[in-house]
Amino acid sequence: MSDRPFHHGNLRAALLDEAMSVVRESGVDALSLRELARRVGVSHAAPRSHFADRQALLDDLAEAGFRRLTSEVRRAVDGRHDVRERFLRVAHAYVDFAIDDAALMDLMFQTGAASRPDAVSDAARDLFDTLDSAMGPRVAGTDEGARDTFKMLFAASMQGIAALVAAHRLARADGDRLVGDAMEMMLGSDLAARTVNAR
């Protein structure tokens, strides 16, 4: 039925799929466009029709990562109303993602990338907006700056715990426990009382 290559029309998606699993299994450094093309069964120059260069493909992976993490965070709070439970579930979702997809996380939060494509920035903004929603409704007269501080402190803690686990400076079980400790500390703070409905 097909004397035409089966990738007709979806080579782009096939390359992204393959790239995602290479990154997951072997890290970003192991990702080669030529090997990707080989795996998918096209010539080494074929990817160029869909991605301007290697970095463009990496940017697409980063965007997909942000979108997936965003939906994980949404799923974590879905239907939950207790503030502590919401925070704990979001924290674990965030850290689990960052550990299981550590290489992808590196791609998403790349050091030194002065500016990134709009698609990536937009996906990143969506994530932080979703984190804000996950913090629950604002109390009357909430200080937006303080709430932002709380949000970034939350993100930084989770990012940091995940980084230490991914770098094997912390066992995974210790990381899990640390997430709980961090949440307890954060929710017990004055800042939480002023920004989050921690009752």
Partner DNA sequence: ACCTGAACACCGTTCAAGT
Residues in touch with a copy of itself (CB under 8 A):
27, 102-103, 105-106, 109-115, 124, 128, 149, 152-153, 155-161, 163-164, 166-170, 174, 177-178, 181-182, 184-186, 188-191
- Residue 103 interacts, among DNA, a copy of itself, none and using kind-specific CB cut-offs from 5 to 8 Å, with a copy of itself
> By CB under 7 A, is residue 7 in contact with DNA?
yes
- Residue 46 interacts, among DNA, a copy of itself, none and using kind-specific CB cut-offs from 5 to 8 Å, with DNA
> By CB under 7 A, is residue 2 in contact with DNA?
no
- Judge residue 95's burial from the number of C-beta atoms within 10 Å of its C-beta, 0-12 exposed, 13-18 middle, 19 or more buried: buried
Whether the Cβ atoms of residue 128 and residue 150 lie closer than 8 Å to each other: no
Question: Distance (Å, rounded) from C-alpha 3 to C-alpha 123?
Answer: 39
13/171 with CB nearer DNA? 13
Burial string for 117-149 (b: 16+ CB within 10 Å, else e) reads eeebeebbeebeebbeebbbeeeeeeeeeebee
Question: Distance (Å, rounded) from C-alpha 158 to C-alpha 108?
Answer: 15
> By CB under 7 A, is residue 17 in contact with DNA?
no
> By CB under 7 A, is residue 21 in contact with DNA?
no
Single-letter code of the amino acid located at 177: R
Site for DNA in 159-178 (CB under 7 A): none
Whether the Cβ atoms of residue 155 and residue 106 lie closer than 8 Å to each other: no
Residue numbers of the site for DNA (CB under 7 A)?
A: 5, 7-8, 11, 31-35, 37, 42-46, 48-50, 53-55
